[in-house]
Structure 1
Amino acid sequence: MGMGNMNKMMKQMQKMQAQVARLQEELGERTVEASAGGGVVKVTANGRQELVNIKIDPAAVDPEDVEMLQDLILAAVNEALHQSQEMVTREMAKITGNIRLPGF
């Protein structure tokens, strides 16, 4: 590999690194929402896989069946995190051309 090709490859890598850094910042502001129980529990997560909001319809709060509410919350959280990860994967693929980078 010639020096010119090496320099070109290094510039491409630096450009990709800058794009990834910018995307990571943007993903912190992008959100996905998932719900469970027909919408009685709604969870919002950002592209950093952080939960940013949980809404629970008061009708879902039954002191006699706390376990059901816990299950609904878990289902909504897991789905929101799954959607968030898929969003990250899609956006990273746009930058990397489907090359899997460690940590993404």
Structure 2
Amino acid sequence: MSKRPAFPGMGGMNMQQMMKQAKKLQEQMAKEQENITTQEFTGKAADDMVVATFTGDRTLKSLFIKPEAIDPDDPDMLEDLVIDAVNKGLKQIDQATQQSLGKYTKGLM
């Protein structure tokens, strides 16, 4: 009789090997996540009228508003510009995170 692998479908990998592999992947993911948190991401709205800069951990680092974007008669326009810039910055973080960490979670969801 041939000896069957400890975990079918795992290429004969035993539990200790699986744990080592899992730890290695966890360390790689943590390193890549740390790399993302040290980066800056910028969202811009309407010809840079509003610029929102975030760190990779989604902390708003700066919010620049050009004086000409401030119209006392149209505060809704400024609100829309701020929302647009913030959402674009956050989307950049999401895309970078997916690109960097997606290879580890591919097929898990």
Do both proteins adopt the same fold according to a TM-score greater than 0.5, normalized to the shorter chain? yes
Deviation per CA, 1:20-59, whole angstroms, max 9, x where unpaired? 2222222211122111111110111222222222111111
Higher helix proportion (structure 1 or 2): 1
**Percent of matched pairs sharing the same residue:** 33
Shift of 1:100: 4.6
Q: What is the aligned length?
A: 100
TM-score normalised by L of structure 1: 0.82
Alignment of 1:40 with 2:49, yes or no, is yes
Q: State the partner residue of 1:75.
A: 84
Q: Flag structure 2 segments of 5+ consecutive residues without an equivalent.
A: none
CA distance in 1, matches of 2:76, 2:100: 36
The structure with the largest alpha-carbon Rg is: 2
TM-score normalised by L of structure 2: 0.79
CA distance in 2, matches of 1:11, 1:99: 21
Q: Name which of 80, 95, 105 aligns with 1:86.
A: 95
Q: Flag structure 1 segments of 5+ consecutive residues without an equivalent.
A: none
Q: State the partner residue of 2:106.
A: 98
Kindly tell me: are residues 91 and 57 of structure 1, through their superposed partners in 2, closer, same or farther at Cα, counting changes over 3 Å?
A: same
Q: State the partner residue of 2:37.
A: 28
Q: Output the aligned Cα RMSD.
A: 2.0
